[in-house]
Amino acid sequence: MKLIVKVFPEITIKSRPVRKQFIRQLGKNIRAVLRDLDPALRVTGVWDNLEVETDLDDPRLLAEMTERLSNTPGIGLFLEVNEYPLGDLDEITEHCKRHYADQLPGKIFAVRCKRGGKHAFSSIDVERHVGSRLRQECAAAGIDLKKPEVEVRMEIRDQRLFVVHHRHEGLGGYPLGSLEQTLVLMSGGFDSTVAAYQMMRRGLVSHFCFFNLGGRAHELGVMEVAHYIWQKFGRSQRVLFISVPFEEVVGEILSKVDNSQMGVILKRMMLRAATRVAERLDIEALVTGEAISQVSSQTLTNLAVIDSATDMLVMRPLIASHKQDIIDTATQIGTAEFAKNMPEYCGVISVNPTTKARGYRVEKEEAQFDMAILERALERATQLPIDRVIDELGKDVQVETVSEALAGQIVIDIRHPDAAEDEPLEVPGVEVQALPFYALNNKFKELDENRQYLLYCDKGVMSRLHAHHLLSEGHANVRVYRPFGQPQAASHQPQDGRVQSP
């Protein structure tokens, strides 16, 4: 398969050196994103377009390749093409006929030709000649340049002809690694996941910072959704997941701070901590999912007081977004189900939260706060490369594993629905239920407690983690199902970013 990758249009208006830098970075990212599918992948081109070639012929691998490129920042669109040596107009027609003859009978069509280089004919000459012959020889109903039912597309570059047979939209934005880095304050809900996506889509490498307000289930849920976002949109770069234990900070706020000021002061403590993390990692900006007046702490007055806790730039890509638009975007990118099933935690809840915080009042309340507690939280913070976070979590988790499911037991396939649909799990003589990992914690309590459940996933890591959590919650009827001989999936190793892994 051969692909022509068209870069994000804003890249083409940059100066020549910047444009070359961006396109060179995009080529590196494409190799990194597709390396595990095809180690022999060829990526060429340095100026306006990139050409990607693979010798793979497995439809599933090719579909996965297309999906990954569709979610790679920096790509405006890409075309599946067949390449031929450029001949005369009749030869061009024959090549087009080979690919489009079956689509044209009874249809209104148009021919579109893009051309670069010096030739004895123009693009319009090609379109007229090819269109006239295809209409006569392929039983087409007619030609309409404005609203065709079928478009016959081709590109001519110097002495090469590319007949286009599929067009795929890209994510747009700039290539990851060509712009600055950010630290996203991640709660795992609708807002923070969409904010992270917006920054990655624009081309900013985004690391994840989670403040644990009390709950292993919530931390695990946020790790999972952060890993999902990275794997889908940012896997060309290695980024970090930082977890800061904030339970003691919350306790100090609850005992020392006036009820009305709790929400604002909690956000200020988070910004202080995130700033320290970002400075240590040489990251230049913080990102939050806040939108104007969505909750009491997000009035313009409160946001100004919150931001005064740091000198670092705080970016809010959703600041003027409606909640439903945020939810719609989360649904589109695949994080909505995570958000809806995110385990709840007990945080700082004000009975009458202020919407008009005043700096002097906040500073007076914070004077009662023992800042040594914030220092301890930062000292106990952990960080892991996001591509290893799930594996690292599962290393020391001991859960009973079985290689054979017995009659009467139920195997629960906790994989993402896309994976479960692509490769359905079948266990002869045993019932299999699909219950995605992001819904497992909430839904498991609804299952029959008298049945035995075996959790299944591809690598066995996620199933161990969730089985361990369910056991710790008092569910004794859980084990892990690992069929005998099931291969371990190879872990993806992205190219190194500017942040060094711990």
- Model pLDDT, residue 493: 38
Contacting residues for 15 by C-beta, under 8 A, at least 6 apart: none
Q: Which two tokens stand for residue 8?
A: 């994000």
| Distance between CA atoms of residues 296 and 203, nearest Å | 31
Question: Which of 225, 209, 229 is closest to 217 using CA atoms?
Answer: 225
Question: What DSSP designation does 155 have?
Answer: E
Q: Is 346 a residue of the active site?
A: no
Report pLDDT for 367.
93
Give the per-residue pLDDT at 397: 65
> What span, in angstroms and rounded, lies between the C-alpha atoms of 379 and 377?
5
Of 461, 490, 478, 469, which Cα lies nearest the Cα of 402?
A: 478
Long-range contacts for 50-57 (Cβ within 8 Å, ≥24 apart)? 50/4, 50/5, 50/7, 50/23, 50/26, 51/2, 51/3, 51/4, 51/5, 52/2, 52/3, 52/5, 52/78, 53/1, 53/2, 53/3, 54/1, 56/1
Total number of residues shown for the chain: 502
Give the pLDDT score at 502: 29
Answer yes or no: are the C-beta atoms of 93 and 41 closer than 8 Å.
no
Confidence (pLDDT) at 439 = 79
Print pLDDT tens along the chain (502 aa).
899 999 999 998 999 999 999 999 999 999 999 999 999 999 998 677 899 999 988 999 999 999 999 999 999 999 999 999 999 999 999 999 999 999 999 999 999 999 988 999 999 999 999 999 999 999 999 999 999 999 999 999 999 999 999 999 999 999 999 999 999 999 999 999 999 999 999 999 999 999 988 667 778 889 989 999 999 999 999 999 999 999 889 888 888 888 888 889 999 999 999 999 999 999 999 999 999 988 888 899 999 999 999 999 999 999 999 999 999 999 999 999 888 877 655 445 566 788 888 989 999 999 999 999 999 999 999 999 998 887 766 666 678 889 899 989 999 999 878 778 888 898 989 999 999 877 787 788 889 989 999 999 887 777 887 888 888 778 889 999 988 766 443 333 343 333 432 2
pTM of the model: 0.81
User: Which among 113, 138, 209, 457 is annotated as catalytic?
Assistant: 457
pLDDT number for residue 490:
37
| Residue 421: partners with Cβ closer than 8 Å, 6 or more residues away | none
Per-residue pLDDT, 225: 92
Task: Give the pLDDT confidence score for residue 297 in this predicted structure.
Answer: 81
